[in-house]
Structure 1
Amino acid sequence: MSLSAAMKTAQSSFSNVGLQTAVASKNIANASDTAYARRAAILITAGSGATVVETQRAQNEALLKQNLLSISKSHAQDTLLGGLTRIKMMLGGEDYELAPATYLAKLRDNLQTFADKPNEVSLAETVVADAVDVANSLNATSIAVQKLRAEADADIATSVNELNRLLQEFQTYNDKVRVGTAAGNDVNDALDQRDKLLTQISALVGVSALKRPNNDLALYTSDGTVLFETVPRSVTFVPTNTYTAAVTGNQVYIDGVAVQAGAGGNTSAQGSIAALLQIRDNVAPTFQNQLDEIARGIIGMFSESVETPPASGTFVDTDGLFVRNGMAALTDPGLAAVIKVNPAVITAQGGEPMKLRDGIYINANPANDASFSVLLNKYSAGFEQTRTFDTDAAIDTSTSILAFSTASIGWVEQLRSAATTASDDKAALLGRTQEALLNVTAVSLDEELALLLDLEQSYKASAKLVAAVDEMIAALLSAAS
């Protein structure tokens, strides 16, 4: 080897070590960044020695695809579980002490006691108080359900705005990758940012990516709707500010196609938007139907007789004129929000609780018999009487009011239990997927430090080569002089 060739080899080695050290240093600096993929300087052997040809980025497209899917499913499941947990809290938590079923059972027990001692005014007061508790429970729960729908709607609006922002940012980095790849530039940093945006998008909506020439990506939703192709597609939503049981929320549209809500406790939703739609348009309305059916059932139970106008009796609507003045509210959605106890039997409102025994609109006890209990026994028997309920309530359509109200709790608990199990399963799958992906792309400090030690040895070897060449040149100059 000539002295000139030796010097070129040393210079090439110094250059390679410098570039490899820079890559290793960048890896170490970004070791804590989960969005950063490890870089590796790839060398080839040329006539003048090893030469750095490119810096490659660690990646695994199959694992990335699976990770995006796991993120979408896990976020959707957690969103649904959060909504179901809110409904459980409306009912009082683990013991469901605030549920209408709990108050109905108490009303039945005290009503039976009153029927056994119909001359006791204190028992009449107790039954009226229990009836007020039932109405208040239905009112509060119905209002809370509609508040849950309104909050879900607001969260959908926030998520849609965030999705549009992420897609705009995705376009910026996708353009950098596409143009940089075509020009032969290093686009690894832009690829990191683009993949990071992909994971954020997948938390909102199920997404799949199709790679095209020059590392360009096109994005599609889980149902095949175009989400991004060169430019972002429009994601639109008009929020609804106020919710009642009669209000239907607006759809979310991606490129003109409506996003489908998830279904089931182990939800089919991918991304939080579809799960929020499921809460707003499926879970909460179904539970509202159950509350309305409970309200309708007890109104019918406590109507006084077939001779009076339908549903005239102990329970009325908020203005105390329920149905008696020709209202058709018995079939209206949101009945549970307006039901109340007739002021005619509430002492604090100028009423007389003993009218429960004798009748409010009819004089069932003209002799003022202290032992009269016909109406009370009728009301008490009504708790066990089989009634017909609307199929939209999604539980037994032919059962007693107590069994129906208990089945409503069971419906919530069954759905929440399935959602809890599915949430744990999907979180575990996400954890394993992320771990597998990080095993491929994450930076290992041990490996990088070991590489730096190897590079140090390469540098020392090159330095010795330069020193040897220097000595030879010095000897030649000395001999020539």
Structure 2
Amino acid sequence: MTLSLALSNAVTGLRATTAQTEVISNNVSNALSEDYARRDVAVSASAIGGVRVEGVTRAIAPAITDALRLAGAVAGDAGSRADALTRIAAAIGEPGAEGALATAADALDAAFAAAANTPESAQLISAAFVAADEYAGKINETAGETMALRTDADASIARQVAAINDAIRRIEALNQEIRSRVVAGGDISTLEDRRDGLVRTISDMVPLKVVQRDNGAIALFARNGAQLLDGKIFELSFQTTVLVTPDRTIANGGVSGLVVNGLPVRIGEGDGTGLMDGGTLSAAFELRDRIIPGIAAGLDDLAADLIQRTQGLAADPTLAPGDAGLFTDGGAAYDPADLIGVALRLDVNPAVDPDRGGELFRLRDGIGAATEGDVGASAVLRGLQDALVAQVAAPSGSGLSGSRSAAGFAAEISAQLLTRAASAESEAVYQRGRADEFSDAQLARTGVDTDQELARLLVVEQAFAANARVISVVDELLARLINL
């Protein structure tokens, strides 16, 4: 080997080790950065001797990353459902717990039984009114939570649409910069880190398929087929609704659907086949338009059953058939054509409410009684108690089963929703665990192991020292030759 060749080898070796040292340093300093992928220096043998630095390579694991995106979207979907159902479960409460729906229903039964047994007791009659008012209020409160959840889901859709649009615009800008750097032969790894972070942001909301295009650019598609980015941006559109009342649906124009590039798309219809189904965005649509309205409908059935049990009560001589009884639809009798939202409108008849000009004695003497009657009369109170405990068939299509008392229906609705919430929470934990497993697998393939990097640094330092020593020896030899 000639001295010039040895010198060339050593100099190129120094360049390679310098590049490796810089990359290792960057790896260590970014070890905790979520979007950072480990770097390495690609080198090859030079035709004229020594080594040539080909560039910086970025660690990737396409199959694991693709699986992680899908798992993250599924986990987000499950988490959104679990959060909403947990809120409903908290509003309903555990049977037997203070303030729970079923507890209030049982208290209503007990209060009217006590009042019917001792009709002369003003205290017990007052307690019966309070129990009726509190039970109606609990149904109102729970129905109000369903309306709040639908409104929150609508607001979540708006936030997610804005976030997706913003991320897509930024990804396209990065695509353009990456194309330019590839053509110029520059390093694109930092830009790819930033782009991958934005892709991950979207993929939790909409499960994505990422397709590579020329010169390092990517195209984005929802897994079920909707285009988001492919040389042009396919923008999402959505109009938020300030308050999503029970009567508002996409069909009647009360709430907005999702529009992509000017065209409406199916999403969140419960069968998983919508063009953008599978992530938190479709979960928000399904909660707003299907899951929560279904729960609200069950509460409407509960309220309607309660109203119908007490209206036109045969034991109350002051009521004609069909007249509003103890429980009313906003003061009126039940109207089967106006069922939606009746749980929000459920009210105790103002005729028995002292705070609204009513009289408590009407619980004993009849809703329409003008004056107080015999304090020992128990027929009306007994009739109300019988109506509450009567076994009535569940409304068709309500999801309830068999025949139940008023309290029985409340207990069944409570049990169904509490079970559903627990199941949703269990599913969310499982799906998050799966996503975490894929995240750990990706980290093992693309993340930075600082111990490993420091060990590599020691090897690079030794190579650097060896190349430097070669240069020093060649320098000494050349100096001796010159001095001959």
TM-score of the pair, normalised by structure 2: 0.90
- 1:251 equivalenced with 2:257 (yes/no): yes
Pairwise CA RMSD: 2.5
Q: Is the 8 A contact 1:302 1:311 kept in 2?
A: no
Q: Which amino acid aligns with 2:432?
A: A
Tell me the residue number matched to 2:349.
342
Percent pairwise identity? 27
Determine the structure 2 residue equivalent to 1:215.
216
Letter in structure 1 aligned against 2:328? V
Contact 2:95 2:103 (8 Å CA) reproduced: no
1:290-322 residue CA offsets vs partner (Å, 9 max, x unmatched): 22112111111112436715142112344x3x1
Task: Tell me whether 380-389 or 411-420 shows the greater mean CA deviation.
Answer: 380-389
Partner of 2:252: none
Give the corresponding residue for 1:452: 457
Task: Sort the Cα spacing of 1:284 and 1:98 in 2 relative to 1 into closer, same or farther, 3 A.
Answer: farther
Alpha-carbon distance, 1:6 to partner: 1.9
Map of 1:301 onto structure 2: 309
1:253 to 1:396, Cα distance in 2 relative to 1, 3 A: farther
Partner of residue 206, structure 2: 205
- 1:35 positional shift: 0.8
* 1:131 Cα offset (Å): 0.8
Q: What's the secondary structure of 1:232's corresponding residue?
A: coil
Q: Is the 8 A contact 2:95 2:411 kept in 1?
A: no
Residue 444 of structure 2 corresponds to 439
Alpha-carbon distance, 1:96 to partner: 5.0
Contact 2:312–2:321 at 8 Å: present in 1 too?
Answer: no
Partner of 1:126, secondary structure, is helix
Shift of 1:354: 2.4
Q: Deviations over 1:6-51 (max 9, x none)?
A: 2212211111111111211221221111211111112212231122
1:255-288 C-alpha deviation (Å, 9 max, x unpaired): 4242422649xxx962211111222122221221
**Gap change, CA 1:173 and 1:259, over 3 Å in 2:** farther
Q: Is the 8 A contact 1:37 1:442 kept in 2?
A: yes
Q: Which runs of 5+ in 1 are unaligned?
A: none
- 1:398–1:180 CA distance, 2 compared to 1 (3 A): farther
User: Which digits, 9 at most, give the CA deviation of each residue in 1:168-214, with x for residues without a partner?
Assistant: 01111122334433554322112111111111101211212122333
The 10-residue stretch of structure 1 (158-167 or 98-107) with the greater mean CA deviation from structure 2: 98-107
Amino acid at match of 2:91: M
Residues in 1 aligned to 2:445 and 2:396: alpha-carbon distance in whole angstroms: 52
Unaligned runs of 5+ in 2: 250-254
Conservation of the 8 A alpha-carbon contact between 2:3 and 2:474? yes
Please report how far the alpha carbon of residue 373 of structure 1 lies from its aligned counterpart in structure 2 after TM superposition: 2.8
SS at match of 1:260: coil
- TM-score (normalised: structure 1): 0.91
User: Do residues 426 (structure 1) and 424 (structure 2) align?
Assistant: no
**Rounded Cα–Cα distance in structure 2 between residues aligned with 1:305 and 1:328:** 16
The residue type equivalent to 2:300 in the other structure is D
User: Quick one: which amino acid aligns to residue 149 of structure 1?
Assistant: R
Partner of 1:312, secondary structure, is coil
- The one-letter code of the counterpart of 1:260 is I
Counterpart mapping for 1:214-363 below 5 A: 214-248=215-249, 249-255=255-261, 256-261=263-268, 263=270, 270-305=278-313, 308-318=320-330, 320=331, 322-323=332-333, 328=335, 331-361=338-368
Residues in 2 aligned to 1:151 and 1:468: alpha-carbon distance in whole angstroms: 74
Post-superposition offset of 1:392:
4.9
Letter in 2 for 1:21: T
1:226-257 deviation per Cα after TM superposition (whole angstroms, max 9, x unaligned): 12111221211111112221122321233424
Question: Counterparts of 1:148-163 in structure 2 under 5 Å?
Answer: 148-163=149-164
The answer as to whether partners of 2:93 and 2:414 remain within 8 angstroms in 1 is no
Counterpart CA distance in 2 for 1:88 and 1:28 is: 46
- 3-state SS, counterpart of residue 464 of structure 1: helix
Amino acid at match of 1:470: D
Matched with 1:30 is 30
SS at match of 2:389: coil
Structure 2 letter corresponding to 1:244: T
Q: How many residues align?
A: 469
Q: Are the counterparts in 2 of residues 290 and 393 from structure 1 also a CA contact under 8 Å?
A: yes
Change in CA separation of 1:442 and 1:143 when aligned onto 2, cut-off 3 Å: same
Displacement of 1:351: 2.7
- Kindly tell me: are residues 380 and 95 of structure 1, through their superposed partners in 2, closer, same or farther at Cα, counting changes over 3 Å? closer
